[in-house]
Structure 1
Amino acid sequence: MAMAGLDDTNLANFGSELEREHRKEQGALEEAWNYEGSPIGSETGLWIWRVQNFALVSVPPKMYGQFYQGDSYVILKTTKKENSDKLIHDVHFWLGLETTQDEAGTAAYKTVELDDYLDTLASQHREVQRRESVLFKSYFRTLTYLQGGFASGFNHVEPEVLPTRLLRVHRPAALKGTRTQNAVVITEVPLSHESLSSGAVFVLDTGDTIFQWQGAQARGIERAKAAEFISQLLSERDGKGEMVVVEQNSGGEYQFFKALGSEGPVSDATEEEEEEAEEIEDEKAEKVLLRLSSHGPFGLGGLKFEEVARGSISKDMFDTHYIYVFDVGHQVYAWFGREAHRKERRQGLQYAQDYIKNNNKSPFTPICKIVEGAEDELFEASLEGWQGW
């Protein structure tokens, strides 16, 4: 399932010099981050905004990690560089699979505005639902995808009567070995037995009763995280409700399927196993480094895009005068040298996106613009012998 028009999303001006002063002025006027006493730009933290009518609306902290499939979001994570007081900013725009082109465009543009507000020191990331970067996933103990969105008329206000919903609990392979390796993704899926698979855990929330259906091949961490998620739901409802654990083929599934309103054979070929296979394949992929440069004096010639290395990539392969596209398998970086020409800067991210399309990589592949001197830990870990510049 792919978001409509994802391949055609224009990133040519994303992070470029085009109308930079105008964007900076607009960014300074954006009340989402520029208000009296705002910590944004001066303190560490996590902030999330949802796109609504071409504007940004703050997401309450209690809803961090919950994303509506019909929406687009802007996320800012500010941390301190290790053994330093220097602040590192990562700005992400997240696109739900059912978001509109207008919302996606607004999120991308607001990301650039926020970067300009932060004096272009932020790393900028494009994230697509279900194939987010490892960095993005690391922000949340639980990443939850919910159906609906502002554009579809869903107002995101808790209704008095909770609708019955089915959610799949899954731990992505990409989180293994990271500091949030026990985090999970929770996705709302259609209310049907056809959504079930024997290798996963599902939560059926009927309001009064919350069922935890455990596939015969489900992993322990997913069982534990599903129980933790249900406990959180019950706590938010002041303890009202009941939790019922159901094992696949246990003979005690009658009430579960009755509440689901659908019964039939359960698939052994799990969607999460297919996703995990894709993630593992990405991890095994050979790293590729390509350079974008301009011909002629003062950048008056055309642009040249060429592969410069493959396999083992080291820091001495990056030159401050150029833009580089760095494919690490699960993610593609666009590295902007500080002395790169304006023409290269203007096209850097578009070349990264075109590279993904022309090399038959998934259109969901995360794209990250990273500025020389503001490299994050994950970028550094992808290089041989990295010890800073």
Structure 2
Amino acid sequence: MAPHAGLVHLKEYDIRDSNVELIGTNLDHRVKYNSAATEPAWNDGCVGIEPGLFIWRIEDFAVVPVPSEKYGHFFEGDSYVVLHSQKTTSKDPDNYDSDTAKKLIHNLFFWLGAHTSQDEAGVAAYKTVELDEFLGGAATQHRELQASPSDDFLALFPRLTIRRGGVASGFRHVEDAPEVNITTLLRVFKHHAAFGGRDSVMVYEVDPTWRSLDESDVFILDKGDKIWVWQGRACSPMEKAKAAQVVHDMTLAKHVDVEVVTQTESRSRTVVRELGGDSDSGGDGGFHAARPVRASAASAEEDSAVRKLFRLSDASGELTFDLVGEGESASGGYLDGNDVFLLHDADRAIWVWEGRGASRAEKAAWLKVAQAYVQKLQSEDGNSEVYLTPIASVREGSESAAFSKAIQGR
């Protein structure tokens, strides 16, 4: 029996019909900043001051730092807040000591596991808004879903590992598990980034059944007393190398036999049998299983016809949401610092740009509008996966490189 079988999980977050992103967006900025100023997680002397990567997990409504040695390891039952701060050089005429000044630019992500609870997701969303206030309101904010991570998020983790379990459910984490024989199957595969981004290798826990096998990837079967590595006939050298690293890490904690087999070897059928299969499993069609992560969109040129730019404005006395550009005309030339704009960049991302002069109502409504827009598209096509599209927001003067490319149609 799986370690989490029979346990009761809190109500799970459903991105398709929940508005947890709205938590806290109508609060006054001063209230949020005062709350942030008393949050121990942000006041460690490094956040907002030093460049680097910082990760927190939501545990019992608290923001708990993740040890740096566990960066890149996420549990599908949890929600996380991730901050990436980088130095950038900008001209600063007021700095008499130097012609340039170093400042930090920030990317903020709240990552929602497939089985996180609504409470955890809500806290992660609220704390992301709060941390942005603490950083001066200039961070690019991203909502990340386990099944559809953005390229910006994956770029932070050359090896991303998703495991089952979670804090709120009481699920047992792998590193806390006692020495018992539990069958665990990990899928190692390369995720291709769009537009010249860096490809990443993901390690993803999947159902321990032969139906999870795919001949394009590498699989690690941990039986407790032995570890098998099953290499699909079409797997890449990068996937083999990453699987070797994972197995090395696993065997540091326990000394067990490791056997590596390729799909073309007859002894590879042993792994299939260990996963409940027989001599007919895989058949003439081979082993094929859908990857648990949605692939990135291919290219801007292919999808330019569906790029759309909308304006959110209350100039008329009430909030309006109007299409101002489509296809090639959905460009930065329409951006007006007095309003908020939503860019649907094909299937790659939904961006919200906040002008400096936008009203409080316009800024407060952006997430509500983005969510309503996603739900409208979803209702128009019941099979659409538009709800998986990454959502991010930027502010005028603090645009990220990814947004700049998106608004230029690149």
SS at match of 1:291: strand
Partner of 2:357: 339
Match of 1:302 among 318, 338, 362: 318
Partner of 1:384: 408
Partner of 1:104: 121
Paired AA for residue 69 in structure 2:
K
Distance 1:103 1:88, change over 3 A: same
Is the CA contact (8 Å cut-off) linking 2:113 and 2:146 kept in structure 1? yes
Partner of 2:177: 159
Paired AA for residue 59 in structure 2:
Q
Paired AA for residue 140 in structure 2:
S
Match of 1:256 among 271, 286, 289: 271
Is the CA contact (8 Å cut-off) linking 1:290 and 1:326 kept in structure 2? yes
Q: Distance in 2 between matches of 1:248 and 1:319?
A: 57
Match of 2:281 among 256, 265, 271: 265
Is the CA contact (8 Å cut-off) linking 1:199 and 1:270 kept in structure 2? no
Partner of 1:368: 392
Partner of 1:212: 229
Q: Distance in 2 between matches of 1:283 and 1:164?
A: 45
Partner of 1:243: 258
Q: Distance in 2 between matches of 1:22 and 1:247?
A: 59
Residues 1:171 and 2:190 are matched in the alignment: yes
Paired AA for residue 304 in structure 1:
T
Q: Distance in 1 between matches of 2:122 and 2:409?
A: 38
SS at match of 1:379: helix
Residues 1:79 and 2:86 are matched in the alignment: yes
Q: Distance in 1 between matches of 2:69 and 2:86?
A: 20
Shift of 1:220: 3.2
Q: Distance in 2 between matches of 1:166 and 1:143?
A: 16
SS at match of 2:81: strand
Residues 1:356 and 2:374 are matched in the alignment: yes
Shift of 1:82: 5.3
Distance 1:207 1:265, change over 3 A: same
Partner of 2:36: 27
Match of 1:129 among 142, 146, 150: 146
Residues 1:319 and 2:336 are matched in the alignment: yes
Distance 1:202 1:22, change over 3 A: same
Paired AA for residue 308 in structure 1:
V
Paired AA for residue 376 in structure 1:
S
Distance 1:274 1:280, change over 3 A: farther
Is the CA contact (8 Å cut-off) linking 2:272 and 2:281 kept in structure 1? no
Q: Distance in 1 between matches of 2:127 and 2:301?
A: 31
Match of 2:105 among 56, 64, 88: 88
Shift of 1:254: 4.5
What percentage of residue pairs aligned between the two structures are identical? 36
Q: Distance in 1 between matches of 2:144 and 2:300?
A: 16
Can you list the C-alpha shifts for 1:105-157, whole angstroms capped at 9, x where unaligned?
Answer: 11111111111111212111110002011101110011111011112212545
Partner of 1:47: 54
Q: Distance in 2 between matches of 1:67 and 1:87?
A: 26
